[in-house]
Amino acid sequence: MSFVVPEGLPRRQAQVLNCLIDEGRAMTFKELMEALRGVGLTSDGQVFKLLKALKERGLVQRIETLLAYVACRPCPPGEAAGYAICDDCRTIWRFTLPQEAVTRVADSRGFTTGGLTLELHGSCVDCGGGLPEGLGQGSELEFVAGFDARPVAGFEGDE
Ligand SMILES: [Zn+2]
């Protein structure tokens, strides 16, 4: 991971964020609970509240299709974060788009968007056989988390 815990973050929130940063991959709630036992966090409810607070700060994102959490930088205002997930090596990258570009069609029909989940599944450039010639300059994909350290409980849908 390429960022550190912001200064002034409450101690318990910092412990949860540090755990995700140190692991460097998406973690299910169960895996987080196991990892946090070492710092004395053993209550599901408490960790859930800490994750919620970190999500509100934009420092943690739940990857819905993996039922897992990753540490990330806050998304710029007006931007929507999307996640590209390689189903072969399970690496995750984040990209951002103007939120309006994603919600425009629904908004124009009177829909009020309250939340947005943008997760792409496929093959990364390494697993998919490389980039076509001439592509790959100025990529805006930002590495978020490797997901390949070991089989991840919850990947198939349990939590
Ligand atoms: Zn891959």
Average pLDDT, the chain: 82
Nearest to 131 by CA among 141, 121, 120: 141
**Both structure tokens of 145:** 């988390």
Query: What would the CATH number be for the domain defined by 11-145?
Result: 3.30.1490.190
Q: State pLDDT tens for residues 134-149.
A: 555 555 666 666 543 3
Distance in Å, CA 130 to ligand 1 centroid: 10
Four-CA torsion 62, 68, 39, 71, nearest 10 degrees: -50
pLDDT of residue 112: 92
Render 36-102 in DSSP notation, one character per residue. HGGGT---HHHHHHHHHHHHHTTSEEEEGGGTEEEE-PPPPTTEEEEEEEETTT--EEEEEEEHHHH
Distance in Å, CA 116 to ligand 1 centroid: 25
* Strand duo 92-98 + 142-145: pairing: antiparallel
The pTM score is: 0.77
Per-domain boundaries in the chain: 11-145
Q: Report yes or no: 89 and 148 within 8 Å, Cβ to Cβ.
A: yes
Q: State pLDDT tens for residues 87-113.
A: 888 888 888 888 888 899 899 999 998
Q: State the CB neighbour count (10 A cutoff) for residue 148.
A: 13
**Both structure tokens of 108:** 């124009």
Distance in Å, CA 148 to ligand 1 centroid: 9
Percent of the residues in the chain that have a pLDDT greater than 70, as a whole number = 79
Higher pLDDT, 65 or 140: 65
